[in-house]
Structure 1
Amino acid sequence: MGAVKTKRMPRAVREQQMLDAAVRTFGQRGYMAASMDEIAELAGVSKPLVYLYLNSKEDLFTACIRREGQALTEAVRAGVDTRSSADRQLWDGLRAFFTHTAQHPDGWSVLHLQARTHGEPFAAEVAALRAELVAFVTELIAVTAREAHRDRDPDLAEREVAGLAEALVGAAESLAAWSNATPGVTARQTAATLMNFAWAGLGNLVEGRPWSPPAGAEYRP
């Protein structure tokens, strides 16, 4: 087979083509099974050019993680109007999250499945992305929760909101994988499922009505 002929174009554009091909290949075939030959062919370039631009398979995969992670966080942030109510902000954020993961299933596979199962430094890249999402969710509800608890333990709201943010992001990650694998489930339906599950408790928290163990109940390991 002869060398792949390429047209002249800006490096940044060519690099994005390579990343598009890589995300599709990694997302559908997995990191170990994906080959640089396959990625180069899908991108319409020669394999040496892929190595010239992105150095190695590991560096290419890392670049995919970073690009897809940035796109996801930007989509969630852009979908939320921080001037609206706490429940509206959470609803808009969930819709933006599930819409993006549904529209970019290969990118979500790279972030949620592939990167986490192949060790460092890939797992660290995803952990940083997850921490950013958790921080953003915490930010969405922290002000309201602190206001609701202004006459109580000042640290209570912060502790509880931080824990709920961790739980919410974990649930969203699992639901995104489930909805992408379940025919007929829309991003809006998935967001509504999680909103109904989360806001029953979260709404009470931000309004100053947290759940407490029954009086006299003792913890038994």
Structure 2
Amino acid sequence: MAPRPNAGTKGVPRADREQEIVRVASVAFGTDGFAATGVADVAHAAGISKALVYSYFGSKEGLHAACLAEAGGLLAAEIERVARDGSAGVERGVRTLAAMFAVLDDRRHVWRLLRDRTAPADGPAAEVVAQYTARIEALARDGVLELLGDAGTTDELDVSAMVRTWLGIVDSLMDWWVAHPDQGAEEMTQRVARLIAALVSDQTRRRGPAPGDATPAPTPQR
């Protein structure tokens, strides 16, 4: 296989070359999984030598950690952007998911990379995962605190339970979406909006008048 233009050739800035290696490796790890991907596979796809990959990243684990850092940072940055746009409550949740769908629409391998069950449970990768997970969970907690605070709920265990619930919903929806490649980002955003609207409207219908609501006057008897 002939090397790609500017891949592994003299004169290419190191940062550009590293970025290209990470891009190629992210696709490989996200498509085939950590266990099934070798440094030789990445080097071949990038049109460079294994030695060059090792010289930049030290090991397969180091390369994998670099891929995870970029992927986790990409998602966290989008979630942070939504957190700054002034939306709140349910609207913030829908916008967060919409942003995730949009940024991953043409690179769903990134989500599979982040969810890879064959990846090491310790080492550099685990450290990177812990960092971006903490970053995303902090954003989720902020959103939940705002949502529950508006409803008058401040119990810390309620907050903790809701954070885990929301993160579980996000993971499940993203997993479903990645498993349905025919569904685009806009279609998924509309689907999520419909599902959440159905849940909210159903709960409103079922609860009846809340304590303190005005009670309809009885119909006069004739």
TM-score (norm 1): 0.76
2:70 matched residue in structure 1: 67
2:19 matched residue in structure 1: 16
Give 1:155 deviation, angstroms: 3.8
Q: Which is worse superposed, 117-126 or 168-177?
A: 117-126
1:184 matched residue in structure 2: 182
CA distance in 1, matches of 2:104, 2:2: 38
Q: Is residue 99–residue 188 contact of structure 1 (8 Å, CA) maintained in 2?
A: yes
Cα pair distance change 1:119/1:159, threshold 3 Å: same
CA distance in 1, matches of 2:115, 2:70: 14
Number of residue pairs matched by the alignment = 201
- Matches for 1:85-96 after TM superposition, within 5 Å: 85-96=88-99
Structure 1: runs of 5 or more not aligned: 205-221
2:111 matched residue in structure 1: 108
AA aligned to 1:164 is: M
Q: Is residue 145–residue 154 contact of structure 2 (8 Å, CA) maintained in 1?
A: no
Q: Is residue 27–residue 114 contact of structure 1 (8 Å, CA) maintained in 2?
A: no
Secondary structure of the structure 2 residue equivalent to 1:79: helix
Q: Is residue 65–residue 125 contact of structure 1 (8 Å, CA) maintained in 2?
A: yes
CA distance in 2, matches of 1:128, 1:196: 33
2:168 matched residue in structure 1: 170
AA aligned to 1:181 is: A
1:55 matched residue in structure 2: 58
- Matches for 1:122-161 after TM superposition, within 5 Å: 122-149=125-152, 155-156=154-155, 158-161=156-159
AA aligned to 1:174 is: S
AA aligned to 1:184 is: D
Give 1:74 deviation, angstroms: 0.6
Structure 2: runs of 5 or more not aligned: 204-222
1:118 matched residue in structure 2: 120
Cα pair distance change 1:141/1:171, threshold 3 Å: closer
Give 1:112 deviation, angstroms: 0.9
Give 1:168 deviation, angstroms: 1.4
Larger radius of gyration: 2
Q: Is residue 89–residue 140 contact of structure 1 (8 Å, CA) maintained in 2?
A: yes
Q: Is residue 101–residue 176 contact of structure 1 (8 Å, CA) maintained in 2?
A: no
Give 1:187 deviation, angstroms: 2.6
Give 1:101 deviation, angstroms: 3.2
CA distance in 1, matches of 2:129, 2:42: 22
Identity in percent: 27
- Deviations 1:142-182, CA, capped at 9 Å, x for gaps: 13432432xxxx742x4323321221112211221221121
Q: Which is worse superposed, 58-67 or 37-46?
A: 37-46
Q: Is residue 168–residue 198 contact of structure 1 (8 Å, CA) maintained in 2?
A: no
Q: Is residue 140–residue 163 contact of structure 2 (8 Å, CA) maintained in 1?
A: yes
- Deviations 1:116-163, CA, capped at 9 Å, x for gaps: x432133453243233222202212413432432xxxx742x432332
